Structure 1
Amino acid sequence: MVVYRFLLTPRWLGILALTLVAATVMVLLGNWQLDRYRGRTEVNERIDAGLRMAPVPLREAVPAPTGGSGTAGPPPAEDKIWTRVTVTGRYDTANVVLVRGRTVESKVGFEVLTPLVLADGTAVLVDRGWIPPAPGGATAQPQVPPAPSGEVTVVGRVHESESGSVTVSRREGRLETRRIGVPQLARELPYPVHGAYLLLDEQTPAADPAFVAVPVGHANNWQNFGYVVQWWLFAGMTLFGYVWVARREARRLSGATPQGPVDRAAPSTPA
């Protein structure tokens, strides 16, 4: 082991420190991706469970708003997102919201949100589905199929409010936005609004067939799992690389060590 004493030199101690730091960072990155994998897996499981479950009343999944007109209620708990719910009310066709730039089956169009006003005067936004734009371009406002009049019973899945920058405008008498931010949309409406919206699954009376159901995409959790394996392999390769280089250096030093002289008897000199 004498030949490995070079590992205690400042240069090699510095190399070891950098190697350990790099490997530690890679392991931590792998752990972070593992957390993301677990989180996305839970989301996918909730999506699948929501498709199979019998609908529950809206208030079992989404808290009632407690503020006044133009305010949004608290968001649902994380484990309630994608819950299948049922609720009865009347559509407010005077405050239809068009959500532009939404893609379904590789086509860009609009999702149509219509407030469903409940008996207690609160409302929940219902995404009735996707429709193509009018002729003239992807932003040309479509002809929206009318919502049923009178009492309507909706079955849908709870969708959390979308994050990011949300701008709400009024064009041609209709509210229009790019992202479904429930608090921002609530400011434009004359009643308290629940803190999540519903993706329509079923409706009584039946929904207009012109609408295309908005698909629910599963999160790509296996991509995160691949990153976990990648970062942990990199960490292992970094440590292996240090050991391999150290062994190569040890062999080099061992080969360069001069051999001691051979002790041979001197030949006798004739008298």
Structure 2
Amino acid sequence: MYRFLLTPRWLGILALTLVAATVMVLLGNWQLDRYHGRTAVNERIDAGLRMAPVPLRDALPAPTGGPGTVGAAPAEERTFTRVTVTGRYDTDHVVLVRGRTVDTRVGFEVVTPLVLADGTAVLVNRGWIPPAPGGATARPEVPAAPAGEVAVEGRVRVSESGAGTVTRRDGRLETRRIALPHLARELPYPVHGAYLLLDEQTPAADPVFKAVPIGHANNWQNLGYVVQWWIFAAMTLFGYGWVARREARRLAGVTDDRPRDRAADPV
């Protein structure tokens, strides 16, 4: 009854069906990996909010190169760790990161190097400020950083990817991304391989700064894609079986594919 499945035509259909189902299963597995990866990131974000701060050196190795170089990135499990560090802000190398959105408003994030006692520096994202009147790209007035020694508490963030071109305008650096390798080349000291997102500092930060939130990754979207691809794979296999069974019944004369004359049906 099903010997027709061994014909070249049906063997080709079976091969295409298996290939399509396999690809869909693999796509589902890929999305499952992304779900686990994003879930791990969210768990580290939540753990960083709850944990007691640790010294910077417990989470981030010191850079070992010369001026203008960037140190090693932190271990993956150390990202979002809350740390404390003491140093002096270098107000001659303030970085304005433009095109950043907080509470639906576009403005600037202000990144300032904190120079440590050993001569290295860690970049500190001090927060978000609105642009000057005139539009989202109008350069803002940046509140001065505290003079003298500053105690900083913040969370470890890795260098951002993407275009990190750095320009200098009116004595200040500007960029679109906190890309540490690009920024380090503009600075006269070795730079740590991650930056800090400021939570608190002593002396206190200027109240004009708004804290930059850390958004959770949308891991549930990836889980939805997992289910979607696996359902598609199952539907593909089911569809092949359904069509094969229908063909077998037709060849056996069980079904009649001829059009019916509905005018002959009883009223």
Structure-2-length-normalised TM-score: 0.94
How far 1:250 sits from its partner (Å)? 0.7
Matches within 5 A, 1:156-195: 156-195=154-193
**Distance in 2 separating the partners of 1:64 and 1:171:** 30
1:139 Cα deviation (Å)?
1.2
Structure 2 counterpart SS, 1:255: coil
Q: Which residue of 2 aligns with 1:8?
A: 6
Aligned equivalent of 1:35, options 30, 33, 36: 33
Q: Is residue 126 of structure 2 the alignment partner of residue 128 of structure 1?
A: yes
Spell out the pairing of 1:166-245 with structure 2 (5 A cutoff): 166-245=164-243
Contact persistence 2:163–2:176 (CA under 8 A) = no
Q: CA deviation at 1:256?
A: 7.1
Runs of 4+ in 1 over 2 A off after TM superposition: none
> How many residue pairs are counted as aligned between the two chains?
255
> Structure 1: which 5+ residue stretches go unaligned?
258-271
Query: Any gaps of 5 or more consecutive residues in structure 2?
Result: 256-267
The letter of the residue matching 2:221 is: Q
Q: Which residue of 1 aligns with 2:46?
A: 48
Work out which of the residue numbers 20, 24, 31 in structure 1 matches 2:22: 24
What is the alpha-carbon distance in structure 2 between the residues aligned to residue 106 and residue 210 of structure 1? 17
Pairs within 5 Å for 1:58-137: 58-137=56-135
Letter in 2 for 1:145: P
2-structure distance, mates of 1:47, 1:169: 31
**Offset at residue 183 of structure 1 (A):** 1.0
Aligned residue identity for 1:150? G
Distance 2:254 2:18 in 1: 29
**Partner in structure 2 of residue 263 of structure 1:** none
Amino acid in the other structure paired with 2:67: S
Q: Which has the larger radius of gyration?
A: 1
Report the RMSD for the aligned CA atoms in angstroms: 1.0
Q: Give percent identity, aligned residues only.
A: 83
**Aligned match for 1:252, one of 235, 250, 253:** 250
Query: Aligned partners of 1:156 and 1:167: how far apart in 2?
Result: 25
Q: Deviations over 1:42-68 (max 9, x none)?
A: 000000000000011111111100011
2:69 and 2:254 map into 1 onto residues whose CA distance is 80
Deviations 1:230-262 (A, max 9, x none): 0000000000000000000011111179xxxxx
Q: State how far apart, in whole Å, the 1-side matches of 2:59 and 2:181 are.
A: 18
